[in-house]
Amino acid sequence: MTKESSYTAKLPGPDGLYAYSAEEDAIWGELYRRQMTLLATTACREYLEGVALLGLMPQKVPQLLDVNKRLNETTGFGVEGVPALIPPSQFYALLSQGKFPLATFLRRREHIDYIEEPDLFHEVFGHCPMLTNKNFANFVRHFGETAVRLGKGYSWHLFRLFWFTVEFGLINTPQGRRCFGAGIVSSPSEAKSAMEIQTCEFRPFDMLSVLRTPYRIDILQPIYYVIDSFTDLEAIVEQDMEAMILKAKSLGDFPPAFESKAS
């Protein structure tokens, strides 16, 4: 969570369960139904299968314990509730251990269309379905291991790889281009922009280009990178990431496709 956040961390009870109100269940349900309608023809098969495998339903905010159990049964991945924004080193360490850090508060109705900080809907509906896919889960774990091994000096560039895949990735399928990135599947406006409005640029995934591409977190993405398969994605972090990042640093960033406030 950012310093300006008006949300407070939600903590579990002694039984590990989080208490969500009827209003929060209603907000979850509204978001779930709206996104599932949109995603039926725009998300990739692996994502939609993941939603079913996790047993996500519109009636109730899912419990972290249930999501954790189902993920464990599919790919061995897990989730860990985090109380607030965590430092990059902790984020990467958790990923390397096969645990995805989750914010556990849910957005309020006034933020139903857009919330800058990641809430439970983004985390569970956005991230967790893809973690039921073996290739994707391996990618995330290896990404975390690489980030831990390379340390702080590489973290900035490595997060660009995370951004353009785990958060805003698209994939070519026999049915056409489909989305899987959590920032797309969990956002009504991003899902429309990435799939329906042809005002953004779609680039074939290229590691060096990704590492050189600045982004902003608070705008609809002007550039998306498209992978060809999740097997390819898994192989990405088996490259010499240190050498790739050093090369990206020496070549420098591409000019931003947006105004100021680059991340």
Per annotation, catalytic residue among 24, 122, 142, 190: 122
Task: Give the residue with the Cβ less far from Fe ion, 183 or 245.
Answer: 183
Task: Give the residue with the Cβ less far from Fe ion, 19 or 219.
Answer: 219
Q: For residue 205, which amino acid is it?
A: F
- Tell me the closest approach of the beta carbon of residue 127 to Fe ion, in angstroms: 6
The label of the residue with tokens 């931003």 reads: 256
> Of residues 201-230, which lie at the interface with Fe ion (CB under 5 A)?
none
Q: Which of 54, 182, 184, 185 binds Fe ion (CB under 5 A)?
A: 182
Q: What CA–CA distance (Å, rounded) separates 222 from 177?
A: 16
Q: What are phi and psi of 113, to 5 degrees?
A: -85, -30
122 is catalytic: yes
111 is catalytic: no
Per annotation, catalytic residue among 46, 167, 190, 234: 167
Rounded to whole angstroms, what are the CA distances from 90 to 21, 34, 80, 97, 127? 30, 33, 12, 11, 18
> Of residues 97-126, which lie at the interface with Fe ion (CB under 5 A)?
118
Phi/psi region, residue 22 (left: phi>0; alpha: psi -120 to 50; beta: rest), is alpha
Per annotation, catalytic residue among 46, 127, 187, 193: 127
For the four alpha carbons of 31, 32, 34 and 36, in that order, the dihedral sign comes to: positive
User: Which residue's C-beta sits nearest to Fe ion?
Assistant: 182
127 is catalytic: yes
For the four alpha carbons of 134, 140, 143 and 147, in that order, the dihedral sign comes to: negative
- Tell me the closest approach of the beta carbon of residue 166 to Fe ion, in angstroms: 7
Q: Considering only 20-28, 75-83, 182-190, 200-208, which stretch makes contact with Fe ion by CB under 5 A? A: 182-190
DSSP 224: E
Q: For residue 2, which amino acid is it?
A: T
Task: Give the residue with the Cβ less far from Fe ion, 165 or 213.
Answer: 165
Q: Which residues are catalytic?
A: 122, 127, 167, 186
